[in-house]
């Protein structure tokens, strides 16, 4: 009598799980060596690339062959390498901005934190803190190279997210908005340029707003925008009717996020709103895009690895709002990876 057997996973199934870290480092090393920019739209030999990137030709050849196997490069006649469309996302001029994002995720300090993920799950403490004895944001104050990678990565993410926000979220109901943790004002400048009748305030620490005057001036919005220094854990500028929190709350645990939101609640005008621009974890698995779901789930684990924060479901946002004297008032999906939304709240 014939017996049915459960099909066993093939190499295409288990290789990404077992060796995903290796593929990440292959792609990242190719990127950080400058190979994508060196290639551009051309095809070059190992010798030409080694001379351009200042690398060991023998080791570089092995790396490039592995990158070709991973789908980043093609190998043509005379063993000339060229970029595939996938490899091209690592060019510095590509709109997806993979290069600065990779530079952050593959930074030794971050890489080491991911290596302590098991310990983080066992202890309930961020892996970054366990490895380095300090949190990410404290480390950024003492590690200029890591800080530069971090800010470059945040800027790269913003270049994708900002058009999705300005083109798809309705700001017409606001008179004056505060960009809480708004950094150098890039996000707020784009919002103000898209909404000429709107006034704004960029609010962040002294270091955070250091470049804001120049950014606002170059954007032509300095006459409609104030700059205020401070910590959102202490207070936020009062009297506005809109408080924007773009990629802020996912960096912080519930207690810290509640503190930030309460400060916004206390500061905002009677008809004010808080708008959280963030990924929203799916509540269940029905109808979800598996790629989107994986992306936001990986981001959630990254928060576990490097911060005290987390990605949240809509229900978890409702609970966070309730603890802060707010209530959910709107949800706008934005055409931006991964499950990115504008989550709105008003006074409860």
Q: What is the per-residue pLDDT for 338? A: 86
In a domain, 293, yes or no: yes
In a domain, 100, yes or no: no
The answer on 88 and 179 residing in a single domain is no
Last residue of a domain, one of 93, 122, 142: 93
Label residue 288 by pLDDT band (50, 70, 90). Answer: confident
In a domain, 64, yes or no: yes
Q: Between the CA of residue 208 and those of 157, 185, 211, 308, what are the distances in Å?
A: 17, 9, 8, 20
Beta bridge partners of 76: 80
303 in Cβ contact with 309 (< 8 Å): yes
Average pLDDT of span 250-266: 97
Residue-wise pLDDT tens digits, 132-145: 999 999 999 899 88
The answer on 143 and 265 residing in a single domain is yes
Average pLDDT of span 138-166: 88
Q: Is 250 a catalytic residue?
A: yes
The number of domains in the chain is 2
310 in Cβ contact with 321 (< 8 Å): no
Last residue of a domain, one of 93, 119, 144: 93
Residue 2 scores a pLDDT above 70: no
Q: What is the per-residue pLDDT for 287? A: 59
53 in Cβ contact with 39 (< 8 Å): no
Q: What is the per-residue pLDDT for 331? A: 97
- Total length of the chain: 348
Residue 1 scores a pLDDT above 70: no
The answer on 276 and 157 residing in a single domain is yes
The answer on 278 and 202 residing in a single domain is yes
The answer on 25 and 166 residing in a single domain is no
CATH number at residue 229: 3.40.50.150
The answer on 140 and 65 residing in a single domain is no
Q: What percent of the chain has pLDDT over 90?
A: 77
The answer on 165 and 76 residing in a single domain is no
The answer on 255 and 307 residing in a single domain is yes
Query: Who contacts 111 (Cβ-Cβ below 8 Å, separation ≥6)?
Result: 105
Average pLDDT of span 162-175: 96
**176-180 and 242-246 beta bridge pairing:** parallel
Residue 75 scores a pLDDT above 90: yes
Last residue of a domain, one of 40, 62, 93: 93
Q: What is the per-residue pLDDT for 308? A: 94
Dist CA 222 CA 157 (whole Å): 24
CB atoms within 10 A of CB 339: 21
Dist CA 307 CA 243 (whole Å): 23
273 in Cβ contact with 241 (< 8 Å): yes
8 in Cβ contact with 41 (< 8 Å): no
In a domain, 277, yes or no: yes
Label residue 348 by pLDDT band (50, 70, 90). Answer: very high
CATH number at residue 37: 1.10.10.10
State whether residue 332 is helix, strand or coil: strand
Average pLDDT of span 15-35: 92
Residue 3 scores a pLDDT above 80: no
The answer on 153 and 43 residing in a single domain is no
In a domain, 103, yes or no: no
In a domain, 227, yes or no: yes
**326-333 and 340-347 beta bridge pairing:** antiparallel
Dist CA 314 CA 297 (whole Å): 14
Maximum CA pair distance of the chain?
Answer: 83
In a domain, 217, yes or no: yes
Structural domain boundaries enclosing 36: 18-93
Label residue 100 by pLDDT band (50, 70, 90). Answer: confident
Label residue 150 by pLDDT band (50, 70, 90). Answer: confident
In a domain, 102, yes or no: no
- Global pTM reads 0.88
**CA-based nearest residue to 228, from 200, 250, 254, 253:** 200
> What is the residue whose two structure tokens read 């890591």?
146
Catalytic residue among 132, 187, 250, 341: 250
Radius of gyration of the chain (CA): 23
Q: What is the per-residue pLDDT for 4? A: 64
Higher pLDDT residue, 307 or 289? 307
The answer on 85 and 123 residing in a single domain is no
The answer on 66 and 140 residing in a single domain is no
The answer on 233 and 114 residing in a single domain is yes
Mean pLDDT value across the chain: 93
């Amino acid at each position: 009598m014939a017996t049915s057997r459960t099909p066993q996973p093939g190499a295409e199934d288990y290789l990404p799980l077992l060796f995903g870290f290796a593929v990440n480092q292959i792609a990242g090393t190719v990127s950080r060596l400058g190979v994508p920019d060196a290639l551009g739209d051309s095809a070059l030999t190992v010798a030409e690339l080694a001379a351009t990137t200042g690398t060991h030709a023998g080791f570089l050849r092995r790396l490039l062959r592995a990158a070709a196997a991973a789908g980043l490069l093609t190998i043509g006649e005379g063993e000339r390498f060229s970029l595939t469309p996938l490899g091209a996302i690592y060019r510095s001029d590509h709109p997806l901005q993979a290069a600065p994002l990779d530079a952050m995720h593959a930074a030794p300090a971050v890489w080491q934190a991911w290596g302590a993920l098991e310990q983080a799950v066992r202890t309930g403490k961020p892996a970054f803190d366990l490895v380095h004895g300090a949190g990410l944001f404290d480390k950024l104050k003492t590690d200029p190279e890591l800080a530069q990678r971090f800010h470059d990565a945040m800027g790269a993410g913003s270049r994708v997210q900002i058009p999705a926000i300005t083109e798809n979220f309705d700001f017409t109901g606001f008179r004056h908005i505060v960009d809480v943790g708004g950094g150098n004002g890039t996000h707020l400048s784009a919002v103000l340029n898209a909404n000429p009748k709107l006034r704004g305030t960029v609010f962040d620490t002294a270091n955070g707003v250091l470049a804001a005057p120049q950014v606002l001036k170059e954007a032509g919005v300095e006459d409609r925008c104030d700059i205020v220094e401070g910590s959102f854990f202490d207070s936020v500028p009062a009297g506005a009717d809109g408080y924007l929190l773009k990629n802020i709350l996912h960096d912080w645990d519930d207690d810290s996020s509640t503190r930030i939101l309460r400060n916004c609640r206390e500061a905002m005008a009677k008809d004010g709103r808080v708008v959280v621009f963030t990924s929203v974890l799916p509540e269940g698995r029905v109808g979800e895009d598996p790629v989107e779901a994986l992306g936001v789930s990986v981001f959630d684990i990254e928060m576990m690895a490097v911060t005290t924060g987390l990605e949240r479901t809509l229900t978890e946002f409702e609970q966070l709002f309730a603890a802060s004297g707010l209530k959910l008032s709107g949800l706008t999906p934005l055409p931006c990876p991964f499950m990115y939304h504008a989550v709105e709240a008003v006074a409860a």
